[in-house]
Amino acid sequence: MSHRGQLLWGMILTVTVTVLVVGLGGFILRGQVNLPDLTVKEIRISPAELEEGDSAQVRTVILNQGRGDALGPFDILIELNGREIGYRSVFELKAHQSIELHIPWKAVAGEHRVTVYVDAPFGRVREANESNNTRTLAFKVAPPSAVRALTLDTVKVFTRSLDEAGQALKFQLTDNIFSSIGNADRALQVGASALREVSTELQLVRAFFALEWRSAQTQSREADHISMLFGSLADSLVRIGGTLSIGNFEGVLENAQIFRKNFADLVGRQIEMTLFQPLTPPLEQFDRVIALATELRNLLRGGQGRPQLEVAVELFNAFTKFGELLRLSAQQILTQAQEQRARFSNDDGQPLGTVYIAGRPLLIEMPGAAQLVLELYSSNAPLTLIHVTQALGPLLQWSGTNGEATPLPPGVYLYRLLGQRDDAQVRVELGRLRVSQGSAAGEDE
């Protein structure tokens, strides 16, 4: 073969190999793009504030964030402090879908680490990213306290959910309108998930308190109503995100009005004397969101006015501001509840810690009360009223005895504390009192 022929053949071979490599590269790239990507999206311990002995749940969300379906069985393993507490085999998880696992657990005091593994230990699923299949969460469980207020814990459930929802609504605005809408939709979905947490958290917080006792309380029924409002707000956020993602601003506005109606209802609610009125500023900010969404809708219809991009940016920023105000208002509601709760202390004025021994003076103070009444119930069925004591003024002293002046036996009791104010309003605090056994020498355990 001549030199020219060799050169021509080399060129042809080079071009052929290049085309083949590029073609295979494209095939490999497309294959990678269409692979599933399993990840541990979230680990959550419910309820968030635990004491030893509480009924709890270890919860995790597994997400397929890839473009392909995860076909064939893969395993999910949950370990607590290196010991397996949950295991599940999953046969299919479609792209962009998720599953949630709940593992019951009886809380033990101390520091803990929960680790979730997906597609472990065998790694059966070929994924676009194999490095995000594990997640760990560290948390603490407190020793059992002598006094725990169900009323305050209930308010904490709601304020924590509002805070998490507000945090979720802080999404990134980019130069690309489609990616910005995608970020907003995801933020709305996460915000909705935070609001839905209320139902599970409330159920777990109440688990220790006898159903017969708490269902008869007005504040329990009010909490149930507020919980339903949170569920309705979550549904509206999901629908707002869905209609926004397809550019349906009529749907956005329709669901925004439903959200506003339920949010306004929430502003007027209270649990005992803890008002949800601090949510007024975010409600007013949401009116601003609706006004901007309406303006943008009209511009998209061909109306005259400001540039569409300017209004869109202002709309997204207004929604982020709504989230910020939501978090601030949640903190104000919680502070209000903490200031109103009753204080239980020893006769030296020190706050009651993890131990109360019957027969010793117990001081109970409720700020602003003109009269206090303490009702004590057994925590076991059948529910029994054990003792009632009362005092004028905001301070009540009790020695941990029953009606016959006999010290209560060790155990857990339910209390109902009524504080009547000068304006005839009555604040009711529900809670539990843990009585410990004293030594013969009369010293604390």
Residue after which a domain boundary falls, among 290, 322, 341: 341
Residue after which a domain boundary falls, among 108, 127, 144: 144
Residues 107 and 179 in one domain: no
Q: Does residue 22 form part of some domain?
A: no
Residues 282 and 417 in one domain: no
Residues 172 and 276 in one domain: yes
Residues 334 and 366 in one domain: no
Q: Does residue 410 form part of some domain?
A: yes
CATH code of 362's domain: 2.60.40.4070
pLDDT tens by residue, 272-316: 889 999 999 999 999 999 999 999 999 988 999 999 889 988 999
Residue 33 pLDDT greater than 80, yes or no = no
Residues 164 and 305 in one domain: yes
Residue 334 pLDDT greater than 90, yes or no = yes
Residues 172 and 48 in one domain: no
pLDDT tens by residue, 246-264: 889 899 999 999 999 999 9
CATH code of 54's domain: 2.60.40.10
Q: Does residue 24 form part of some domain?
A: no
Residue 12 pLDDT greater than 60, yes or no = no
Structure token digits, residue 407: 């010290």
Q: Looking at residues 226-250, what average pLDDT do you find?
A: 94
CA atoms of 59 and 54, how far apart (whole Å): 15
Percent of the chain with pLDDT over 70: 89
Residues 227 and 323 in one domain: yes
Please tell me the least confidently modeled range out of 152-156, 175-179, 335-339, 410-414.
Answer: 175-179
Residue after which a domain boundary falls, among 296, 321, 341: 341
Q: Which domain holds residue 47?
A: 36-144
Residues 62 and 211 in one domain: no
Exposure on the CB side of residue 355, measured as CA atoms within 13 A: 11
pLDDT tens by residue, 166-220: 999 987 777 777 788 888 888 999 999 999 999 989 888 887 676 656 656 788 8
CA atoms of 183 and 245, how far apart (whole Å): 10
CA atoms of 103 and 80, how far apart (whole Å): 11
> Residue 417 — very low, low, confident or very high, per pLDDT cuts 50/70/90?
very high
Counted domains in the chain: 3
Q: Does residue 252 form part of some domain?
A: yes
Mapping DSSP to helix (H, G, I), strand (E, B) and coil, where does residue 16 land? helix
DSSP letter at 221? H
Residues 205 and 292 in one domain: yes
Q: Does residue 67 form part of some domain?
A: yes
| pLDDT for the residue numbered 212 | 57
CB 141 within 8 A of CB 108: yes
% helix, strand, coil for the chain, step of 5: 40, 30, 30
3-state SS of 194-214 is HHHHHHHHHHHHHCCCCHHHH
Residue 442 pLDDT greater than 80, yes or no = no
| pLDDT for the residue numbered 205 | 85
CB 196 within 8 A of CB 234: yes
> Residue 354 — very low, low, confident or very high, per pLDDT cuts 50/70/90?
confident
CA atoms of 411 and 53, how far apart (whole Å): 13
Phi, psi of 92 (to 5 degrees): -165, 140
Q: Does residue 61 form part of some domain?
A: yes
Q: What is the pTM of this model?
A: 0.84
> Residue 403 — very low, low, confident or very high, per pLDDT cuts 50/70/90?
confident
Please tell me the least confidently modeled range out of 71-80, 290-299, 397-406, 427-436.
Answer: 397-406
Residues 77 and 155 in one domain: no
| pLDDT for the residue numbered 439 | 54
Q: Looking at residues 427-439, what average pLDDT do you find?
A: 85
In whole numbers, what is the pLDDT of the chain averaged over residues?
86
Q: Does residue 355 form part of some domain?
A: yes
Residues 332 and 305 in one domain: yes
Q: Does residue 174 form part of some domain?
A: yes
Residue 6 pLDDT greater than 60, yes or no = no
Residues 106 and 74 in one domain: yes
- Report DSSP letters for 328-394, one per residue: HHHHHHHHHHHHHS-EEEETTSPBP-S--BTTS-EEEE-TT-SEEEEEEEESSSSP-EEEEEEEESS
